[in-house]
Structure 1
Amino acid sequence: MLRPTLAQRRALLARRHLLAPSARAATTEQVTRALLALHATDAATVTLSAYTRLAAPDLADVERALYEDRTLLRMHCMRRTLFVVPVEDVPLYHFSTTLDVARRERASLLRLLRGADTPWDAARLAAAEEEAVAALRRLGEAGATEISAQAPLLGEMITLSPGKRYEARQRVGGWVLRLLAMDGRVRRGRPLGGWTSGRFRYGLAPEMAPMDPAEARAEVVRRWLASFGPGTTDDVKWWTGWTLTAVRRALADVGAVEVALPEGQGWLLPEDVETLAGAGAGAGAGAGADEVEPWAALLPGLDPTTMGWKHRDWYLDPGHRSLHFDTNGNAGPTVWWNGEIVGGWACRPDGEVVWRLLADRGAEAAAAVEAEAARLQAWLGEARFVPAFPTPLARELTHG
């Protein structure tokens, strides 16, 4: 059985995830396709993930793709998480993943709304959705506040955690629009602020042609293996958020080939097995299979590479996990050297990019990280941001 080496896995990561300087991309669309999707729960991640992988980083290119050409789109899909995906792949993720997520979200929202001052049921929620769609037909692209002003049900307030010290009042509109987006009826457009803003305008979405969910899941897994493979069944299940049965069927449908990994049974696409085996996987795997130029990268919180696998020991020291991830599994900003997380970084309120190495990889590594930090600080200019999910190391670095 083929046993991909650590060097091979890290070299594949460097090239496929566009992290080696020679692998960097020309456009934000190319970055997104290489990684399948960019995490977007923290709005800043989208721009910073693209920055790291672009040969000539340009905020204007990110905004062009998202808001002018609209070749990229924000949507909830894997693990109920907000991602940016290529617009042509929206049906793929919608029918493989988001429809099931939307069903669960609808049930959860109805349970929440039953506790409102005026209890809601499915019919009332459906009426609110139609109000929102009708408002968007009149307004075009608009923010939640504008939409709610023309859709009375969306303007209703409910009390969250009544009687608790953290009791709060919130409009229904945001939840309804989120659910409409999951159903594929509306889409997020431009943010209401700059590139770090997490509040967006909404617009009506074009109708999608139906797609067989099993075929969609198989194609998602094929692409995951092409970008993230080799990986285990657990890795695929964690990344997609699907049931184990669905993952196993998709792996079978793409003809995934079993390989041996330190963390257990792994999978590769047939063509990748042939490439690695033909290069001599157990003995250095020539033809560049385990060779790539030295590289350093400062990846943002929730970056797709950091979040790409459930089993991370091959690129993250288990002793450092609690410094780089919060208790919910959200990754903070990480420093990488040659396919390994070796430290963390942060942007301080005064704009200084600071970093700390947790593993000593020599003078070349330290110099390369320092150069990347200086490059990022120069590119950020007057921009400031903090991770939406601060981790212990990120908090410590931010506040000095």
Structure 2
Amino acid sequence: MKGPPPVAEWRLQQQGISAPLGDDPAATVRHLLAVQAQDYYGSLWAVGLRTAGAREADVERAIAERRIVRTWPMRGTLHLVAPEDTRWMLTLMASRAIARDRARQERDFGLDARTTGRCAEVITRLLEGDGRMTRGALYEALAERGIDTEGQRGLHILGRLAHEGVICQGPREGKQPTFVLLDEWIPRTAPLDRDEALAELGRRYFAGHGPATMQDLAWWSGLTVRDAQTALEGAKPALSHHDHDGARYWFIASAEGAAPVAPAVHLLPPFDEYLVGYKDRSAMLDAAHNRQVVGINGLVSPSLIVDGRVGALWKRTLGRQGATLALTPLRPLRKADRPALARAAKRYGEFIGQPVALDAG
């Protein structure tokens, strides 16, 4: 009996990198449950990479049409999520970020419950009626009403209200994100109790990121190991597992025995789920290159994947004639990989709507 493919190769397939998940950007996001998105254009490409024929404008249109929501559901970090997943994820996971930051916000910024409640009331009045405002416009409006937003205080106000489910981000105005009222932006959904939410988290994480371990789930969600164990237990009826090198890897049962795919080259954006989605990245990243790919500040660099592993970093420069992608190899690129690299660059150029030139270093 043929065994399962290597972990990295399997993840490439399950995440929709080696073969697209479909042709709908919103369905791609739903499959992954959440796509890290503090780098806006990188998150668009993360979705486009996994969606057949998608262009940058297609992903932005799905955000503007409210089929994808950009908000802070976990780890205090911006993500793209499906509308129907937004509220239960905020309730389950964003509360940890609120609890973590509450004492510091009260001490350093005077954001106690009464003050944040007033901020919520003011911003609700400003945005109600399907309104949308940029961060700068909100800061000006808050200041006019006697609410200080200087320094980092404004960011903490908006972040707190996003975590509490008052606001989320809407479509961009030029290059600036706007903020909208969550309850006006997307339909209300029936709440899940905590055990139901944990089980849903487990099922969806392992469906979109498997094969992965329980520790990977805890890292990705920002929940405690105990909560991750509960999520795994609730999801087990839908899961299978594979033991490898002393670790137990879980995946959605329907993916068992997935056929290996041909090795290829892939251009991943910064903070891509292929790297961010796991506590243990050893299947995809050599230990010697870890600090070059994942900075001490948590920045995950744009990466070139060769045979499932990070082989180079890349940086985009836009010019009048198109885009240049400059590679910084972490190991020598093989001559045999050049055609696949050219195809990956061409696909990226199609996505952004510009010709792409490669500078392979």
Q: Which interval holds the TM-score relative to the shorter structure? A: 0.7 to 0.9
1:368 aligned to 325, 340, 348, which one?
Answer: 340
Percent identity over paired residues:
25
Q: Separation in 1 of the partners of 2:244 and 2:297? A: 26
2:105 aligned to 109, 113, 118, which one?
Answer: 109
Shift of 1:211: 2.0
Which residue is equivalent to 1:216? 197
Which residue is equivalent to 1:392? none
Unaligned runs of 5+ in 1: 115-119, 159-168, 277-288, 385-396
Q: Separation in 2 of the partners of 1:150 and 1:129? A: 13
Structure 1 residues 188 and 340: CA distance shift in structure 2, 3 A: same
Structure 1 residues 333 and 251: CA distance shift in structure 2, 3 A: same
Shift of 1:152: 4.3
Which residue is equivalent to 1:388? none
Q: What TM-score comes out, normalization by structure 1 length?
A: 0.78
**Aligned: 1:355 with 2:327:** yes
Q: Separation in 1 of the partners of 2:104 and 2:152? A: 16
> Which of 347-356 and 86-95 deviates more?
347-356
Q: Separation in 2 of the partners of 1:94 and 1:319? A: 36
2:272 aligned to 291, 303, 312, which one?
Answer: 303
Which AA in structure 2 matches 1:108?
Answer: R
Which AA in structure 1 matches 2:22?
Answer: A
CA contact (8 A) 2:46 2:272 kept: yes
CA contact (8 A) 1:4 1:261 kept: no
Structure 1 residues 36 and 334: CA distance shift in structure 2, 3 A: same
**Aligned: 1:95 with 2:91:** yes
**Aligned: 1:331 with 2:300:** yes
Q: Separation in 1 of the partners of 2:226 and 2:351? A: 45
CA contact (8 A) 1:75 1:82 kept: yes
Which AA in structure 1 matches 2:18?
Answer: A
Q: Separation in 1 of the partners of 2:126 and 2:289? A: 49
Q: Separation in 2 of the partners of 1:102 and 1:88? A: 22
Which AA in structure 1 matches 2:131?
Answer: G
Shift of 1:83: 0.2
1:261 aligned to 240, 244, 268, which one?
Answer: 244
Shift of 1:382: 6.3
SS of the equivalent of 1:342 reads strand
> Which of 328-337 and 347-356 deviates more?
347-356
SS of the equivalent of 1:220 reads helix
Which residue is equivalent to 2:352? 380
Q: Separation in 2 of the partners of 1:269 and 1:382? A: 37
Which AA in structure 1 matches 2:180?
Answer: Y
2:29 aligned to 21, 32, 54, which one?
Answer: 32
Alignment of 1:249-328 (within 5 A): 249-255=230-236, 259-262=242-245, 264-269=246-251, 271=253, 275-276=256-257, 289-328=258-297
2:165 aligned to 184, 192, 195, which one?
Answer: 184
2:79 aligned to 78, 83, 89, which one?
Answer: 83
Which residue is equivalent to 1:61? 58
- RMSD over aligned CA atoms reads 3.0
Unaligned runs of 5+ in 2: none
SS of the equivalent of 1:355 reads strand
Alignment of 1:191-202 (within 5 A): 191-194=172-175, 197=176, 199-202=177-180
CA contact (8 A) 1:149 1:155 kept: no
Which AA in structure 2 matches 1:59?
Answer: E
- How many residues align? The count is 351
Shift of 1:53: 2.0
**Aligned: 1:20 with 2:13:** no
Q: Separation in 2 of the partners of 1:298 and 1:330? A: 17
Which residue is equivalent to 1:161? none
Q: Separation in 1 of the partners of 2:328 and 2:137? A: 44
**Aligned: 1:44 with 2:41:** yes
Q: Separation in 2 of the partners of 1:359 and 1:60? A: 34
Q: Separation in 1 of the partners of 2:145 and 2:215? A: 40
User: Which whole-Å deviations, capped at 9, do the CAs of 1:222-281 have from their partners, x for residues lacking one?
Assistant: 11111222222221111111011111111112225553222x3323247258x33xxxxx
Q: Separation in 2 of the partners of 1:52 and 1:382? A: 16
Which AA in structure 2 matches 1:324?
Answer: V
Structure 1 residues 151 and 348: CA distance shift in structure 2, 3 A: closer
SS of the equivalent of 2:80 reads strand
User: Which whole-Å deviations, capped at 9, do the CAs of 1:304-358 have from their partners, x for residues lacking one?
Assistant: 1121111111111111111111113321000012322211111135431122433
Which AA in structure 1 matches 2:91?
Answer: F
Q: Separation in 2 of the partners of 1:248 and 1:211? A: 18
Q: Separation in 1 of the partners of 2:155 and 2:275? A: 29
Q: Separation in 2 of the partners of 1:9 and 1:349? A: 35
Q: What TM-score comes out, normalization by structure 2 length?
A: 0.86
Shift of 1:97: 0.8
